[in-house]
Amino acid sequence: MERILVTGANGQLGSELRVIAKKYSNYEWVFADRTKITLDDLDLLQTQLEEIKPNIIFNCGAYTAVDKAETEKELAFKVNHLAVELIAKYALENNAKLIHISTDYVFDGESSVALSEEAITNPINVYGESKRAGEIACLKENPNSIIIRTSWVYSKFGNNFVKTMQQLMQERDEINVVNDQIGSPTYAADLAKAMIDILESAEWIPGIYNYSNEGEISWYEFALRIKELGGYSCNVGGIPSASYPTPARRPEFSLLDKKKIMRIYNLEIPNYKESLKKMFR
C-alpha cells in the first residue's frame, strides 16, 4: 500500500485532506503536524522523512504569516525555500511523487488578464519571494514534481477570511473591506479533491499548475457574498488598499488562469459561489 505524507496536517488544506482521506483507504495516510515534520530544522526534517518513508508527499506545510514574514525573512525562507528544496531532493532520490502547494503571491499584481503558469513572476513581499524561491528549488532538484499555485484559501478549518468575516459581521454593525484587490477564492476542500484526482489520474505530468475556484472578484465582493449567505445585517463598505495599510504589500490583481489543469487533468472547477455555499452548509 502506498504511503501518503501530508505536511501541514493541521492547516486548512491538510485538515480538508484528512476529511477526504476516509474515502481513499487504498492509501496509508500519514498526517504530519509540526511535531512529526519539522520544516524549520533541516537536519531533523531529513531524519523524519527517512523514518516515514513516504511514496507520495503532499507538501501543504508552509510559513504563511504574510505580514510577519517582512521581519522574519530568514524563517520564511527556511520553511518555504530550503525545506521545499530538501523535500524535493528526497522525493527524487526515493522515487516518491511530490505535489507542492504554492501561491498567487509569486506575482506582482500588475496584470490585467488572468495569469497563466507561464506569466512572469515578480513577488512584492517576502512571503512571495520565499514561495517563489521554493518553486524554483523544487523543480531544479526534482523536475518530476507537481506545483499547484492557489489563492485566497478558505475552509471550515483554521483562520481565514470567510471565518473572520462571519465573526465580524455578527459582532459589528459596520465593516470595511478592500475593493481594489482582484482574484478568486479557493475552497480548500475543492483543492484537496483536485490533488487526489491528479494523483489517481492515468498520467503524472510534472510542472506548475494553477488552481482556484472560478469567478473574478474583489475581497469586498467576496464579503458581500458571505453577508448574503449568512443573512447578516452588518453594513459592508468598500475601501481602497491605501486606506488599510499592512506591513506586506499585496498584489492588486492575482486572478489565476486554470485552463492548463482543467485540460491536462480533466478537472471540473466549481464557481466560488457554489463552493462557498457548500462550506456554509
Residues known to be catalytic? 127
Give the 3-state secondary structure of residue 243: helix
Dihedral angle sign, alpha carbons of residues 62, 65, 68, 70: positive
Who's near 252: CB < 8 A, 6+ residues apart? 109, 110, 180, 181, 182, 241
Residue type, 117: E
Residue type, 57: I
Residue 277, judged by CB atoms within 10 A of its CB (0-12, 13-18, 19+), counts as: middle
CA dihedral 14, 18, 20, 22 (to 10 degrees): 160
Distance of CA 254 to CAs 115, 198, 250, 257, Å? Answer: 7, 24, 9, 9
175: its cell numbers = 465593516
